[in-house]
């Protein structure tokens, strides 16, 4: 039993984090609940203190609004300014939850950090920690952890990795804890509340970019766009361009303030180029065949054995071998 080992649990107040904390208690850990204050739009839940008392664990509120604004929100805005499709959740996990939070937790004496992510952590026979997809494939969140610092893996705990969401909900009911009926599933863009993301971007940047040309792959002018921030690669709705078949966004060109559109066939790519590769294992020294997942809930492909749609610069690509997450990178461009 892990007696006298303190583990800091990121405690949002929702079902997943509460059940994670309870499971760690049952395993004998000394649990410290830590609620992250990340944005002014997300104040601590009113029932959070009651939850901590019911679990009989200490609770800290960690104000990371400055760090979150500098490292996540600014990245989000700059990505859209550059015509890219950002993934704030991947960034937040890497630099905030498993970065700044882990540093703070160690300063408080914690030897482990736990979250309610649906992902499995296992130790291989030679002692290397390895991340695997969650047992509940509908809730698997390993994609969002593809850019974690490798050195933090030995210190992590993911109590929900072997559970399904239905099992977690059932355990929450059995605990009889004061969960709020208003608690909803977490959203990827947690810092945008009660407004469309375009309104948020305009408010933060002062304005959206200027209107410009919409062209096809041959450069023929088809219409006008209302500002590049309003579009993502693969988008079909809202283009307002008539044609014999639907148009999709193929490419965003911020230097020319131009939107390139085409047919569904033209949306397909045979590959991609990525940068800033992050490995959660020893970096390979030879060619490696992997399953590439280019967005959350994407089924994954092996070396783009078949062309894939909507390869979006700015999104993360995660690398898998079977169920194991090997790492990830940022998509730079599609390869036709």
Return mean pLDDT, the chain.
Answer: 91
Q: What is the CATH number of the domain that holds 227?
A: 2.30.30.280
Quick one: 151 and 15 in the same domain?
yes
Side-chain half-sphere exposure of 21, counting CA atoms within 13 A: 29
The confidence score (pLDDT) of residue 266 equals 93
Q: Which of 89, 92, 146, 183 is catalytic?
A: 92
Residue 190 is among the residues annotated as catalytic for this protein: yes
Q: Which of 89, 146, 183, 190 is catalytic?
A: 190
Count of domains in the chain?
3
**pLDDT higher than 90, residue 188:** no
The confidence score (pLDDT) of residue 300 equals 61
pLDDT tier, 109 (very low <50, low <70, confident <90, very high otherwise): very high
Q: What is the CATH number of the domain that holds 296?
A: 2.40.30.10
**pLDDT higher than 70, residue 185:** no
Quick one: 109 and 162 in the same domain?
yes
- Name the percent of the chain lying above pLDDT 70: 93
In a domain? residue 192: no
Distances (CA, A) of 28 to 2, 50, 76, 242: 5, 22, 39, 63
The confidence score (pLDDT) of residue 181 equals 53
The confidence score (pLDDT) of residue 187 equals 53
Residue 146 is among the residues annotated as catalytic for this protein: no
- Higher-pLDDT residue of 286 and 131 is 131
Reading the block at residue 228, the tokens are: 């590049």
Average pLDDT, integer, range 46-52: 89
Quick one: 171 and 216 in the same domain?
no
Using CA atoms in the order 205, 84, 325, 37, what is the torsion angle rounded to 10 degrees?
10
**pLDDT higher than 70, residue 180:** no
pLDDT tens-place string over residues 266-324: 999 888 999 999 999 999 998 888 999 988 777 765 556 677 888 899 999 999 999 99
Q: Choose one of 223, 244, 263: the last residue of a domain.
A: 263
Burial of 206 (0-12, 13-18, 19+ CB in 10 A): exposed
The confidence score (pLDDT) of residue 186 equals 54
- What residue numbers bound the domain in which 215 lies? 211-263
In a domain? residue 198: no
pLDDT tens-place string over residues 240-261: 898 889 999 999 999 999 999 9
């Amino acid at each position: 039993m892990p007696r006298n080992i303190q583990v800091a649990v990121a405690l949002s107040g929702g079902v997943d984090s509460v059940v994670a904390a309870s499971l760690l208690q049952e395993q004998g850990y000394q649990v410290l609940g830590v609620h992250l204050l990340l944005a002014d739009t997300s104040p601590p839940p009113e029932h959070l203190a009651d939850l901590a008392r019911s679990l009989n664990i200490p609770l800290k509120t960690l104000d990371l609004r400055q760090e979150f604004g500098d490292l996540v929100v600014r990245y989000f805005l700059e990505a859209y300014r550059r015509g890219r499709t950002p993934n704030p959740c991947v960034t937040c996990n890497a630099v905030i939850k498993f970065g700044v939070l882990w540093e703070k937790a160690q300063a408080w004496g914690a030897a482990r950090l736990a979250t309610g992510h649906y992902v499995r952590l296992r130790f291989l026979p030679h002692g290397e920690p390895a991340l695997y997809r969650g047992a509940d494939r509908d809730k698997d969140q390993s994609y969002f952890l593809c850019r974690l610092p490798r050195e933090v893996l030995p210190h992590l705990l993911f109590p929900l990795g072997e559970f399904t969401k239905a099992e977690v909900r059932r355990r929450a009911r059995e605990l009889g804890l004061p969960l709020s009926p208003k608690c909803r599933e977490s959203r990827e863009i947690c810092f945008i509340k009660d407004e469309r993301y375009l309104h948020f971007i305009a408010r933060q940047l002062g304005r959206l970019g200027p209107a410009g040309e919409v062209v096809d792959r041959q450069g023929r002018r088809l219409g006008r766009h209302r500002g590049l921030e309003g579009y993502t690669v693969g988008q079909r709705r809202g283009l307002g361009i008539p044609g014999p078949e639907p148009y999709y966004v193929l490419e965003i060109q911020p230097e020319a303030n131009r939107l390139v559109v085409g047919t569904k066939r033209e949306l397909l790519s045979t590959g991609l180029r990525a940068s800033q590769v992050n490995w959660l294992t020893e970096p390979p020294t030879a060619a490696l065949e992997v399953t590439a997942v280019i967005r959350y809930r994407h089924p994954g492909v092996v070396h783009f054995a078949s062309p894939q749609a909507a390869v979006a610069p700015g999104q993360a690509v995660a690398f898998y071998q079977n169920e194991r997450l090997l790492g990830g990178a940022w998509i730079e461009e599609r390869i036709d």
